[in-house]
Structure 1
């Protein structure tokens, strides 16, 4: 699973699924990948005053891509958690692996049950100090394009975090991504 990018709107379950990928991989002989969370990187940039609140989030994506490239070049696996809302951000990950010969696995998480998605958005707590989580209205009005090119599209309204993580690991370890 060299570079696996897990994207999707806020509150679809990306963090829960990524944590399960890490847990399951830690229990296997392959070991866990390096986990890069765009929210953590962007919050650190805001804390350092290098990124102002409300600024477009490109800096976090570019910083994560640079770290991912270094990890991949050294033979490590990388798991990226991000919204990954647009073709521009998605191309960045493809470019990150292009000249390394590394595999790329694109995963889009959705939550097809709008009531469940809203409940998650309204009831979840944050685990990144200082990060303000988006409201349901901000989530529903966010600029987000569906990701039909994703290697996997998993519905967290129908799958548990563990089931989704297993699907990601199974495809990644089988070499199912380019």
Structure 2
């Protein structure tokens, strides 16, 4: 059986675990625990290892989804997961600009370890404080319009939205012929 490995990464609270739970055909394997740091102000649990979900396309093809922890102290997991990935999506909470620097660091970390297709998924775009796609691009260091990865709005709580993002990422992967 063949499988594609897709990594879902981003800052704490960007929607990584929810994203995977929305589309996985199996019960998601997670390593969520009660946070003991500033993360407790954002949410009741946080990923400390990784999340795992799966989509089976046919008997011979499956998609494995791996979600990374958002805190940089778990960057050893980022390293393990990205090295086996075929592509990844960076989720960015568009309404929390104070986290854009961390998102940019995650992006840099991933790109230093793997030359694979990626897209940016903007979450929380319905929030009145959400930044525009253009402003997020600039905040992430993509000033040159010709060198930007694809970006799309994603609602991690909606299966259809997540499915569209996964399909888009797989199509982007296939278009670049990395598999």
TM-score of the aligned structures, taking structure 2 as reference length: 0.49
- Structure with the larger RCO, 1 or 2 (CA within 8 Å, 6+ apart): 1
Greater share of residues in helix: 1
TM-score, scaled to structure 1: 0.49
